[in-house]
Amino acid sequence: MTATVIDGKAFAAKVRGQVAEGVARLKADHDITPGLAVVLVGEDPASQVYVKSKGKMTREVGMKSVEHRLDASVSEAGLLEVIETLNADPTIHGILVQLPLPDHLNSDLVINAIDPAKDVDGFHISNVGRLATGQKAMVPCTPLGALLMLRDHHGSLSGMNAVVIGRSNIVGKPMAQLLLGDSCTVTIAHSRTRDLPDVVRGADIVVAAVGRPEMVQGDWIKPGATVIDVGINRIDKPDGGTRLVGDADYGSCVKVAGAITPVPGGVGPMTIACLLANTLTACCRANALAEPDTLTV
Ligand SMILES: Nc1nc(=O)c2c([nH]1)NC[C@@H]1CN(c3ccc(C(=O)N[C@@H](CCC(=O)O)C(=O)O)cc3)C=[N+]21
């Protein structure tokens, strides 16, 4: 059996199309343009590329895009001042502070300074609590993207065994909450899990989010299971170049799984599409207007 390859790039384009329609309707009917602000501290080249592509896609769906680039040496007070300004700006509906932050800045404190209604990353403590208790929340983009792909592929996820490998606040924990919300039986595995291959063998859905290149092996996968690969790891090639690989060993997993997301072109593009979807959702909520129900949980 060879797995169906879930085309995240195409699915993300479709989601962005739906966001663009929602934005056009807000403009036509209410004269409102959703606005997204991205705050980047320091000069990490990988982050700069990512921020640039986010800005381009934000404008492509018809939203206002704002970037704040701050020096790596900015003080906590200086960064909080920028966040306060964006919190108070009625033309901004979404705020994203690019992580990780330099070591001298307390990222929990910074994230919790964002107005939770504008927290399109879903990292504010209030959104984390809302998601965990089943209240309307802003949902972290990567897990939201993964869930939308799983729902699209399977229809209902009810009763399925899901194993999430990784327990980060950004992916593993919110992913587990979303799968639980869709009535999966959820196991969160991590670096201390005993007999990880055996745990994974029981899964109908495997979400690999550990940050270890090509760790999950094909012989860990139950035949026909769905593999969602959240990893984005740049590794060296023998010829001196680099390539992107996921946390699953694609070559062996694709032979056993029923469906798999590739890297690149899987979860990554969906993360950005969901950031735009969350910005549209935040804008609708801020204006007490109906929100697009296919783009939220
Ligand atoms: N507050 C915050 N929120 C984030 O969501 C956030 C962040 N900080 N910091 C950095 C990471 C990284 N991230 C990516 C999103 C999409 C791709 C993506 O689309 N990747 C392409 C490949 C890109 C390439 O070729 O390098 C793909 O997987 O197909 C990658 C990385 C979001 N992040």
Same domain flag for 191 and 102 = no
pLDDT at position 287 over 90: yes
The residue contributing the CA closest to ligand 1 atom 15 is 268
Our answer on whether the CB atom of 278 is closer than 6 Å to any ligand 1 atom is no
Q: What is the pLDDT averaged over residues 103-110?
A: 98
227 and 152 in a single domain? The answer is yes
Same domain, 97 and 35: yes
264 lines ligand 1 (CB under 6 A): yes
Of 105-109, 122-126, 246-250, 291-295, where does mean pLDDT reach its minimum? Answer: 291-295
Q: Is the residue at 203 inside a domain?
A: yes
CATH of the domain at 170: 3.40.50.720
Residue 194 has pLDDT above 90, yes or no: yes
Whether residue 292 is preceded by a cis peptide bond, meaning omega within 30 degrees of 0, is no
Residue 229 lies in a domain: yes
The verdict on 191 and 76 lying in the same domain is: no
- Residue 50's pLDDT is 81
Enzyme catalytic residues? 54, 98, 121
Q: Which atom of ligand 1 is nearest to the CA of 46?
A: 26
CATH number, domain at 95? 3.40.50.10860
Domain range for 76 is: 31-115
pLDDT tens digits for 84-96? Answer: 999 999 999 999 9
Q: How many whole angstroms from 267 Cα to the centroid of ligand 1?
A: 9
In a domain, 61, yes or no: yes
**Span from the CA of 139 to the centroid of ligand 1 (angstroms):** 16
Residue nearest ligand 1's atom 11 by CA: 99
Rounded to two decimals, the pTM is: 0.97
- Higher local confidence (pLDDT), 63 or 49: 63
For residue 263, the ligand 1 atom closest to its alpha carbon is 28
CA of 160 to the centre of ligand 1 (A): 28
What integer best gives the mean pLDDT of the chain?
97
Shared domain for 106 and 150, answered yes or no, is: no
Same domain as 47, residue 157: no
Of 16, 36, 50, the residue with max ligand 1 atoms within 8 A of its CB, to mutate for a pocket test, comes to 50
Testing ligand 1's pocket by substitution, the residue of 271, 272, 275, 278 carrying the most ligand atoms inside 8 A of its CB is 271
Q: List, for residues 204-251, the tens digit of each pLDDT value.
A: 999 999 999 999 999 999 999 999 999 999 999 999 999 999 999 999
Q: Please determine, for residue 158, whether its predicted confidence score (pLDDT) is greater than 90.
A: yes
Q: What is the mean pLDDT of residues 4-22?
A: 98
Q: Same domain, yes or no, for 160 and 262?
A: yes
Q: Given the cut 0.85, state whether the ipTM is greater than it.
A: yes
| % the chain with pLDDT above 70 | 100
First-to-last C-alpha distance (Å) of the chain = 32
Buried b vs exposed e over 196-226: b needs ≥16 C-beta within 10 Å? Answer: beebbeebbbbbbbbeebbbbebebbbeebb
Q: Is 171 found in the same domain as 103?
A: no
Band (51; pLDDT cuts 50, 70, 90): confident
Residue 191 domain flag: yes
Ligand 1 centroid – CA 57 distance (Å): 13
* Separation between Cα atoms, residue 50 and residue 271, nearest integer Å: 11
In the reported structure, the alpha carbon of residue 268 is separated from the centroid of ligand 1 by a whole-number distance in angstroms of 6
Q: Domain total for the chain?
A: 2
Residues 157, 264: one domain?
yes
Residues 156 and 252 in one domain: yes
Q: What is the arithmetic mean of pLDDT over 130-159?
A: 98
Secondary structure (3-state) at 293: coil
Q: Is residue 72 part of a domain?
A: yes
Structural contact between residues 166 and 229, judged by C-beta atoms closer than 8 angstroms: no
The arithmetic mean of pLDDT across residues 70-97, rounded, is: 98
pLDDT at 47 over 90: no
Q: Is the pLDDT of residue 44 over 90?
A: no
Mean pLDDT over residues 28-47, rounded?
Answer: 93
Q: Does residue 205 sit in the same domain as residue 106? A: no
Question: Is residue 261 assigned to a domain?
Answer: yes
| Ligand 1 neighbourhood includes 51 CB (under 6 angstroms) | no
Pocket of ligand 1 contains residue 229 by CB under 6 Å: no
pLDDT at 254 over 80: yes
pLDDT above 80 for 155: yes
Band the pLDDT of 52: cuts 50, 70, 90: confident
